[in-house]
Amino acid sequence: MRLGKMPRFCPTCGNSSDKEKFYGNFCMSCARGMLKERLPKAAEIRACKRCGSIKVAGRYMPDSARSIEGAIKPFFGRMGLKVLRYKGGSADIEVSEASEHGNLSVEYEIEIDQKRSLCDTCYKKACSYYEAVIQLRGNNYKIARFIERVTRFLDINNGFVTKVERNDNGSDVYVSSKKLASAFISRMRIHPTASYTLAGVKNGKRIYKNTYAIRYE
């Protein structure tokens, strides 16, 4: 007479392996419960109080389930993490852990505590920060088109127009980044007259503000 495999019993709840799948020495329900007990119930992240962007690995990203996932990932070490639903003050997440017994995953809700301050970009906007001035003179229609295009280019590339000063001769456009200002001018294949003004010294290095003069006929 051939005997069948003897069932195992969970040391926590007494469930039999005949009735429920096991994960190591424990039934799946208890294994998931023990994993959940080790997980954080809340996570503190940084968010910009003006634009709502989320700080992930030292840089700010638009508020989304993906950025929340990146922001809370350090709380879970090497565990797998996926945000299923994000509801502002909390998130439904799936966490998985691999071991010699296979892969174990649980779903649960975690509280999201947003500590609000200003991201780098919003702080610079609040301080009217700029690194370059583009002086536009001549044809008003072409000047307006230039301002429209440079504003769109800066927005796409995480820069901004600090302000636009209009005068009888044209407009002066103050730009947050001289690198982006130079890149846009090169992209437009414009050859401006450039000048540089010493703005200060930082860490022993001289800091200059760039001025580009462009005339449209």
- Is residue 32 within 8 A of residue 104, CB to CB? The reply is yes
pLDDT at 3: 52
Give CA separation, 10 vs 21, 100, 105, in Å. 10, 18, 19
> Which residues does 34 contact at the CB level (< 8 Å), separation at least 6?
12, 26
Give the HSE-up count for residue 31: Cα atoms under 13 Å, Cβ half-sphere.
20
At 109 the pLDDT is 95
- Closest-CA residue to 119 (of 63, 43, 49, 174): 49
From first to last of the 217 residues of the chain, give the pLDDT tens digit: 445 578 889 999 988 988 889 999 999 999 999 999 999 999 999 999 999 999 999 999 998 889 999 999 999 999 999 999 988 789 999 999 999 999 999 999 999 999 999 999 999 999 999 999 999 999 999 999 999 999 999 999 989 999 999 998 899 999 999 999 999 999 999 999 999 998 888 888 888 899 999 999 8
Q: Nearest-CA neighbor of 209 among 150, 133, 128?
A: 133
Task: Supply the pLDDT for residue 7.
Answer: 85
DSSP line for the chain: -PPPPPPPB-TTT--BTTTS-EETTEEHHHHHHHHHHHS-SEEEEEEETTT--EEETTEEE-SSHHHHHHHHGGGGTTSEEEEEEE-SSEEEEEEEEEETTEEEEEEEEEEEEEEEE--HHHHHHHTT--SEEEEEEE-HHHHHHHHHHHHHHHHHTT--EEEEEEETTEEEEEES-HHHHHHHHHHTT---EEEEEEEEEETTEEEEEEEEEEEE-
pLDDT at 6: 82
